[in-house]
Amino acid sequence: MSKLVLNPGKERSLLRRHPWVFAGSVARLDGRARPGDTVEVVAADGRFLGRAAWSPESQIRARMWSFAVDITIDHAFFKRRVAESVARRATHPLLADESGVRLIHGESDGLPGVIADRFGDVAVVQLTSAGAEKWRDAIVAGLVQATGCTAVYERSDSDVRGLEGLGPKTGCVHGELPQDVLTIVENGVCMEVDVISGHKTGFYLDQRDNRRLTGLFAAGRSVLNCFCYTGGFSLQALAGGATSVLSIDSSGPALDAGRRNLAMNPQLDASRAEWLQADVFEALRVLKSEGRRFDLIVLDPPKFAPSAAHADRASRAYKDINLFGLRLLNPGGILMTYSCSGGIGLELFQKIVAGAASDAGVDARILHRLSASADHPVGLAAPEGEYLKGLAIQVG
């Protein structure tokens, strides 16, 4: 096995169990390795640090599979890791009745570059790193064995694969997708899941708990849901007793899916729902000029900063939408605002929202710090900035 030798002092993050080795930490590779091959990572003095997947085209040169000296990285290793990840969700009390669950969450489950979601009898897998690509067959076999799913669909079409020198791959890798529309029930609301062409793996499972909280806040309130996608927050707000819900997205097909989702839930009052296709930045300005006000606003935009290099531009975009969101709130209103940008950590995000509140001239306090659902854990040493973060703000 080839050895990846680090520069002096660069072993410190690995000793704290951080799962990445950056290009600047690498002194040399002793031996030859192809993308995705397992390499032994050692400190400058030769100390064993762990075994990792080699990725020569990425700034993250290696992603750690294991820090233990007695662990072999083979087919059995991945089947075991997958089974452990699935078992963690199976015993989690908050996930007992959920038909849509994240089964594997990358580094947090010891499987860097591996995402797997379950929607009923269908599992959707996304492989974003050279190491995950190398072990595709073992990962899929582990999913089938651990879940009994009748179909596994691959959605390895994320842009980040390009950073690893990988092209997109999609399609069934086990079984066949059902002919009927795939649906799940979340917090009592039926939702359509498009695993072939929907965002990510077909549905944003990470926001389940926050959608439920939106429903709890929504009773008797007028609601504005920006970047609404297929209406997950909107339908939970209606289920919670919102007096009205305006949902805005730039995508016509996403809004059509939102309308279909609403139609699948006859218990919800469709007359309280309005759908608007528009650029959210422009729509917020128009709403302000029209004197519109809301009691609860949800801002769940797409990723503005995929890396720290985009943080400055993304910060301006986040401040812009939060500034207008805060200006559109009635006194006592609540803003639920989110970021999924890897280049924006929670501390910076909170500073951005605080700056927006100051510029909006409103008194605001944090009701809740919002995070991903229980099946999207963040490991103690995992890169937290990569995951969902959010704030529920109430204005005076």
Positions marked active-site: 340
**C-alpha–C-alpha distance, residues 78 and 124, integer Å:** 17
Q: What angle do CA 104, 170, 22 make, to 5 degrees?
A: 55
CA angle 42, 48, 52 (to 5 degrees): 65
Q: How far is CA 123 from CA 53, 102, 209, in A?
A: 24, 9, 21
Indicate the burial class of 306 (C-beta count within 10 angstroms; 0-12, 13-18, 19 or more).
middle
Number of alpha carbons in the 13 Å side-chain half-sphere of residue 360: 26
| Pair of tokens at residue 303 | 């990723």
Nearest C-alpha neighbor of 186 from the set 206, 171, 170, 156: 206
Measured distance CA(253)–CA(200) in Å, rounded? 16
Instruction: Please check whether residue 90 is in contact with residue 126, taking contact to mean a CB–CB distance below 8 angstroms.
Output: no
> Which of 242, 222, 249, 240 lies closest to 333, judged by CA?
222
C-alpha–C-alpha distance, residues 268 and 324, integer Å: 29
Q: How many CA atoms lie within 13 A of 99 on its CB side?
A: 16
Do the Cβ atoms of 53 and 131 come closer than 8 Å? yes
- Closest-CA residue to 205 (of 185, 225, 224): 185
Number of H helices, E strands in the chain: 10, 20
Backbone CA torsion sign across 358, 360, 364, 369: negative
Q: What is the CA radius of gyration of the chain?
A: 22
With beta carbons less than 8 A apart as the criterion, state whether 303 and 387 touch: no
Q: How far is CA 112 from CA 25, 56, 62, 182, in A?
A: 18, 16, 10, 28
Give the Cα separation of 207 and 189 in Å (integer): 14
